[in-house]
Amino acid sequence: MLKLSRVSKSYEGVPVLREIDLSIPKGQVTVIIGASGCGKSTLIRLVNGLVRPDRGTVELMGMPVTAATVLALRRRMGYVIQEGGLFPHLTAPGFYKTRPSRWSRPTPTSIPWWRCSSATGLRRNP
């Protein structure tokens, strides 16, 4: 279960999320959709402990997401970024290995979601 109670987050004084209440029961599939800059990524970053809320509480699987619990919680979750990104622990050759080459065959994880939509039930908006 995921629960946010009166969560607010701002960056450099600019509010991104204001007093958000959200409860998602275990096993429920939820899609978060919104315009660029509306706070979707911030919400996910709050859940996985990459950022801390300015106010309010975040709970995941019955545990508060805090500095003391975040490592244990991260061992039980996955996080997939939309586009390739750099990770501070990767060297240049290590990062290069994560990118598909032009000679490699597509794998299920390298095919854009809209090409897999029949398997997922997702549809691209016209």
pLDDT digits (tens, 9 = 90+) for 53-109: 999 999 998 999 998 998 888 888 877 766 655 566 666 666 566 665 665 666 655
Q: Selecting from 3.90.420.10, 3.30.420.480, 3.40.50.300, 3.30.2130.10, what CATH number does the domain 2-74 have?
A: 3.40.50.300
Least confident range from 11-15, 48-52, 59-63, 87-91: namely 87-91
Band of residue 17 on the pLDDT scale cut at 50, 70, 90: very high
- State the average pLDDT for the chain: 80
- Residue 89, C-beta contacts closer than 8 angstroms, at least 6 positions apart: none
Q: How far is CA 41 from the centre of its chain?
A: 6
- List, in sequence order, the alpha helices (H) in 1-126: 40-47, 70-74, 92-98, 117-120
Output the pLDDT for position 56.
97
Is pLDDT above 80 for 11?
A: yes
